[in-house]
Amino acid sequence: MSADTPQPEITVLIAAHNEAERIEGCLHAVLEQDYPMERVEIVLVDDRSTDDTAARARRLEIERLRVLRIDEAPANLTARQAALDRGLIEARGEIVLITDAGARVPREWIRELTGHMGYRDAAVTAPVVFAGGGHFFTSIQTLDAVLTLTYYRWAARNHWHTGVLGANLALRREAYLEVGGFPAIGFAPDENIALCQALRARGWSIRYLDSPTVCNPACTRLPELMLRWRRKTRNGPAGLTLITLGLILSNLALLGAALVLGGGWWVIVLLRYALGVVAIAGVVMQYGALNVAMAMVLFEPLMTLLGTWVYLSNLLVPRWRWAGVWYDRRGPLRRGSLSHPAA
């Protein structure tokens, strides 16, 4: 973009459910951008919060902040889909940057994401890392995120179904409206994969960057992390799905080779394991997430176990609760019951 080209009008969209403890830090990071803030509006969608998320945001007295309130969970979408749709419909910017209410965006975030958006790019996405939990537990989540982004980038090049990282995303509003938004896409537990499929079906492209990197708060408890991964494996080839499937298939191949070679099986095991660590290290270096060395060594066996747990949980326990709403494979369940809303 040349110096004479006017920079586009931007909307920063944040959907929040009970994020009173984090929203001020998120907004402060947005306000510190090296982008002309007179061309930026911030839209905060307060999604049924029962704490003072909205009040804390308004307390900052941001001139170009708008707070939108959702009081009821939708009947045919996830709560996050409905919140994002409300914000995208109300947005005034031609490009909408989306992040999470607990995220910290770097100073160059708006400039870098918008500056790399081409004419036929519907979306631009970049890495997400995690912080705030125990170091090893947090590192596993960071590795999962960067490997997911690597898979999405590879899948896009090979014309497979792909996705984006919703905490670090620039979305062209025109493209979103063209596909009819989430109401036309329908219920999707991982809205990012469903949105990408709809955009690519209309001929739009997705661009993947190595930076800027957004930092998100890590899950601090294993059940919380399992719930997040269960949701993300419900409606498409999320990174966890492909990573675990690849590990299982490669280990089966390894077992077969070991049976054939007899006593030399342990050499194959060590070589295969070392190659896996080297491959993960390459991805980590690409995105600059260099503080996850111990997690790299143990990532393969852990992801095999946790991924299998997630699949079995989805198979045996088809219902799950997320942001105060119960869901199953078909959509939201009616409040106070285990049935769906009447048509």
Positions of the chain with pLDDT lower than 50, given as ranges: 336-339, 341-343
Residue 123: both structure tokens together: 């979306």
Q: Evaluate if pTM is beyond 0.85.
A: yes
Question: Helix, strand or coil for residue 312?
Answer: helix
Residues 6+ away with beta carbon under 8 Å from 300:
247, 273, 276, 277, 280
Predicted confidence at residue 247, as pLDDT, reads 66
Contacts of 202 (CB under 8 A, 6+ apart): 175, 178, 179
Looking at residue 343, its pLDDT comes to: 35
Distance set, CA 66 to CA 33, 36, 126, 215, 325 (Å): 18, 18, 26, 24, 25
Residue written as token pair 């982008």 = 35
DSSP state for residue 189 in the 8-state scheme: S
pLDDT value of residue 266: 67
What's the rounded Cα separation, in Å, for the pair 118 and 173? 14
Q: What is the pLDDT of residues 72-114, one digit of tens each?
A: 989 899 999 999 999 999 999 999 999 999 999 999 999 999 9
Please count the CA atoms within 13 angstroms of the CA of 327 that sit on its side-chain side.
Answer: 26
Farthest-apart Cα atoms in the chain, separation: 71
State residue 318's pLDDT score: 81
pLDDT value of position 11 = 98
CA atoms 201, 207, 212, 213: torsion sign: positive
| Residues paired with residue 331 on neighbouring β-strands, in sequence order | 328
The DSSP letter of residue 104 is: B
Which residue carries 């902040």 as its tokens? Answer: 65
Q: What are the φ and ψ backbone dihedral angles of 310, each rounded to 5 degrees?
A: -60, -45
For residues 30 and 58, give the distance between their C-alpha atoms in angstroms, rounded to a whole number: 15
Report the C-alpha gap between 269 and 78 in whole angstroms. 43
Tokens 């402060």 correspond to what residue? 28
What confidence score (pLDDT) does residue 56 get? 97
Structure tokens at 336: 């106070």
Q: Distance between CA 303 and CA 241 in Å, rounded?
A: 10
pLDDT value, residue 336: 44
- Side chain identity at 237, as an amino acid letter? P
Report the C-alpha gap between 29 and 35 in whole angstroms: 12
User: Rounded to whole angstroms, how far apart are CA atoms 52 and 44?
Assistant: 13
pLDDT score for 342: 43
